[in-house]
A and B are shown apart, each in its own frame.
Chain A
Amino acid sequence: MITLDNLTKIFNTSMGPVTAADRVCMEVAEGEVCVLLGPSGCGKTTTLKMVNRLIEKTSGKILVGGRDTDTIDAVELRRTMGYVIQQIGLFPNMTVEENIGVVPRMLGWDSQRIRKRAVELLEMMALSPAVFLRRYPRELSGGQQQRVGVARALAADPPVLIMDEPFGAIDPINREVIQDEFLKMQQTLRKTILFVSHDIDEAVKMADKIAIFRGGKLEQFDSPDNVLAHPANSFIADFVGGDRTLKRLRLLKVRDVLNADSPSVRADESLDIAVRRMHEHDQGHIVVTDQDGRPTGCVLLADAVGRHGAAGDHARALPSPVRLDADLRGAVSSMFTHDAEWLPCVDEAGIFRGQITQRGITHRLGDTYRAAAHAAAVPADDGRPVAPQHFRGAAE
């Protein structure tokens, strides 16, 4: 959908030429979110603004939907792309509703349709329309302004969004809320999004692809998990942080590391059955459930040996269950908090579905490292070792 081909920008300043983008190549597929990441001054904004031609490129090519942007009237091009500017830039002379309605009005929507759209978008941004529609930008906090800025970019439902640090001024709690809302929206709308951030956590959360820049050069363009697991160089490793493996947890759901083949026993079944199942599965504990299959406790093998009666009578307290769709970071955090080697997992109805274990999780995180090591060890046809594919550029 969006292809950057050797995109270069050289600013001529009084201090001599500054290369803000240096032969950048990347390709963002339709419906994907690509986060441009990197330290201040690395060329993120410059790259972004070349896409909607607010900055004229020095050389290279930009294709949007297969068309060279040079062949499209700049104004027409921009109207197909929602734009969130880094400085927010709400028009102070217009109400929130009028700000959101700017592009729709240019496209000839009637005022009723614009009002409806503004209401819808404010609700999505967790701003009450009754309160905010008629307000002026200076009557809003920075974070509220930023949300209106995002709503304004979405107003005419453009297929492409380019957003320059759209959530930078929002407090962490609201930022999470907005990010979640945004991701939910993205799941249904499937827009193609270029998103500038300098927050690795935000990038990992939002991105299908992460593009990491340094000094105008694209250093790595890859999936969030690959960026975290296989940083292409030490700069990127430093940038993503020493806890990068822990950050990968956020990309996984409990269901991804679930061991569904975990035994359970009903509270009214006998202890003998519980012991037998533990032996069958070669583990020292078993989850006890009620009649409907909801976990209520667990029996340890050590407690059960030589005793008799119903399993329920020997049950201990259960580590708190986690939902299958929860993100793994929270689950692991809960494991550490409760000093648990494993956690029972439940579905939306609270029914026991299996367990996750610390070993299972480390094994899963290790898969990609082992695969990379394996690939490096296996010689290619010409006898040279094959390097793991860190960089996937436009050629792919």
Chain B
Amino acid sequence: METLRFIGDNASLILYLTVQHISIVGVAVGLAILTGVPIGIAITQNRRVADAVLYVAAIIMTIPSVALFGILMPVLSLTGHGIGYLPAVIAVLLYSQLPIIRNTYTAITNVDPALREAARGMGMRPWQRLWRVEIPLAVPVIMAGVRVAVVINIGITAIAAYIGAGGLGTLISRGISQTDQRQLVAGALAVSLLAIVADYALLWTQRRLTPAGVRA
């Protein structure tokens, strides 16, 4: 009850923090798509490079987020952005690489070799093959990777409140420091809800982007 009243009274603050949260995850994952998909495609050319890249991405994934912020802070403070929005975006960007690169790589390498051969045999150049056959067929799997990245990073971004990045984590951190149950629960609820809504929204997008001929 207490919590509900708190949420009612602070609706505009919560909305503001939600938008902040979304902007961190949205910008970072957006950038991660722009880097991860091309990397995922590029490494299909060479097995050994692929293994190395996926290994590095997996290692980044295992760094605890607090530790990653700890690493980023001194580096970024050289540019005067040691805390706040920028390190949060960079952290999320890094954490998003593994699911996006790995799914892209897997999707492209799993395209039926017969299709690749048909495309080559018909005189498609490598780029044409990529654009017209391989990427359209890979989209559902790539999007699944994006969904994983978004959901994971909505959680990670909550922790970024500790380095002053804002977002819904602010409620949680304040709730803890002020031992205010209402803020803590409201923040946790909002983060979970955001993750669920984002997942469904992306699932819908994934279905829309899947070519009609391969839709289940």
Residues of A within 8 A of B (CB): 49, 52, 54, 75-79, 83, 85, 87-95, 102-103, 106, 136-138, 152
Q: Mark B119-146, 1 if CB is under 8 A from A, else 0.
A: 1111111001000110011000000000
Known: A94-B211, A106-B128. 5 other contacts (CB 8 A): A75-B125, A78-B121, A78-B123, A95-B213, A102-B132
Other-chain residue from A91, A95, A106, A138 in contact with B133 (beta carbon distance below 8 A): A91
* Contact call B121/A85, Cβ cutoff below 8 A: yes
Which residue of B is nearest A134, CB measured? B212
Of B114, B121, B125, B137, the most chain A CB neighbours within 10 A belong to: B121
Minimum C-beta distance from B122 to chain A (A): 6
Given contacts A54-B117, A88-B114, are A93 and B122 in contact (CB under 8 A)? no
Minimum C-beta distance from A353 to chain B (A): 48
Interface membership of B196, Cβ < 8 A: no
Given contacts A75-B123, A136-B212, A137-B213, are A85 and B137 in contact (CB under 8 A)? no
* Contact call B114/A93, Cβ cutoff below 8 A: no
Chain B, interface residues (CB within 8 Å), range: 20 to 34
Given contacts A54-B121, A78-B122, are A136 and B114 in contact (CB under 8 A)? no
Q: Mark B171-207, 1 if CB is under 8 A from A, else 0.
A: 0000000000000000000000000000000000000
Other-chain residue from B121, B124, B213 in contact with A138 (beta carbon distance below 8 A): B213
Alpha-carbon separation in the docked complex, A77 to B123 (Å): 8
Other-chain residue from B115, B120, B121, B125 in contact with A91 (beta carbon distance below 8 A): B115
Which residue of A is nearest B213, CB measured? A136
Alpha-carbon separation in the docked complex, A85 to B113 (Å): 11
* Interface secondary structure of B, over-half rule: helix
* Contact call A54/B120, Cβ cutoff below 8 A: yes
Which B residues are in CB contact (< 8 Å) with A77? Answer: 123
Minimum C-beta distance from B47 to chain A (A): 16
Which A residues are in CB contact (< 8 Å) with B211? Answer: 92-94
Those 8 A-B pairs whose CB atoms lie nearest each other, nearest first = A89-B118, A136-B213, A93-B211, A79-B123, A78-B123, A87-B114, A83-B121, A93-B136
Q: 18 A-B Cβ contacts within 8 A?
A: A54-B120, A54-B121, A76-B123, A78-B121, A78-B122, A79-B123, A83-B118, A83-B121, A85-B114, A87-B114, A89-B112, A89-B114, A91-B132, A91-B133, A92-B214, A93-B137, A95-B213, A138-B214
Which A residues are in CB contact (< 8 Å) with B136? Answer: 93
Minimum C-beta distance from A133 to chain B (A): 13
Which B residues are in CB contact (< 8 Å) with A93? Answer: 133, 136-137, 211, 213-214
* Contact call A85/B214, Cβ cutoff below 8 A: no
Which B residues are in CB contact (< 8 Å) with A78? Answer: 120-123
Minimum C-beta distance from B158 to chain A (A): 38
Given contacts A75-B125, A78-B122, are A85 and B117 in contact (CB under 8 A)? yes
Minimum C-beta distance from B176 to chain A (A): 50
Which B residues are in CB contact (< 8 Å) with A102? Answer: 122, 124, 132
Which A residues are in CB contact (< 8 Å) with B120? Answer: 54, 78
Alpha-carbon separation in the docked complex, A91 to B123 (Å): 14
* Contact call A103/B123, Cβ cutoff below 8 A: yes
Minimum C-beta distance from B115 to chain A (A): 5
Which residue of B is nearest A135, CB measured? B213
* Contact call A85/B123, Cβ cutoff below 8 A: no
Of B117, B211, B213, the most chain A CB neighbours within 10 A belong to: B213
Alpha-carbon separation in the docked complex, A54 to B113 (Å): 13
Alpha-carbon separation in the docked complex, A152 to B123 (Å): 13
Alpha-carbon separation in the docked complex, A52 to B123 (Å): 9
* Contact call A85/B213, Cβ cutoff below 8 A: no
Of B123, B124, B125, B132, the most chain A CB neighbours within 10 A belong to: B123
* Contact call B137/A103, Cβ cutoff below 8 A: no
Minimum C-beta distance from A316 to chain B (A): 61
Which B residues are in CB contact (< 8 Å) with A83? Answer: 118, 121-122
Which A residues are in CB contact (< 8 Å) with B132? Answer: 91, 102
Which B residues are in CB contact (< 8 Å) with A85? Answer: 114, 117-118, 121
Alpha-carbon separation in the docked complex, A26 to B128 (Å): 34
Alpha-carbon separation in the docked complex, A18 to B18 (Å): 63
Which A residues are in CB contact (< 8 Å) with B212? Answer: 136
Of B119, B120, B122, B213, the most chain A CB neighbours within 10 A belong to: B122
Which B residues are in CB contact (< 8 Å) with A152? Answer: 122
Which A residues are in CB contact (< 8 Å) with B128? Answer: 106
Alpha-carbon separation in the docked complex, A277 to B120 (Å): 69
Which A residues are in CB contact (< 8 Å) with B133? Answer: 91, 93
Q: Mark B96-124, 1 if CB is under 8 A from A, else 0.
A: 00000000000000001011011111111
Alpha-carbon separation in the docked complex, A120 to B179 (Å): 77
Alpha-carbon separation in the docked complex, A91 to B117 (Å): 11
Which residue of B is nearest A82, CB measured? B122
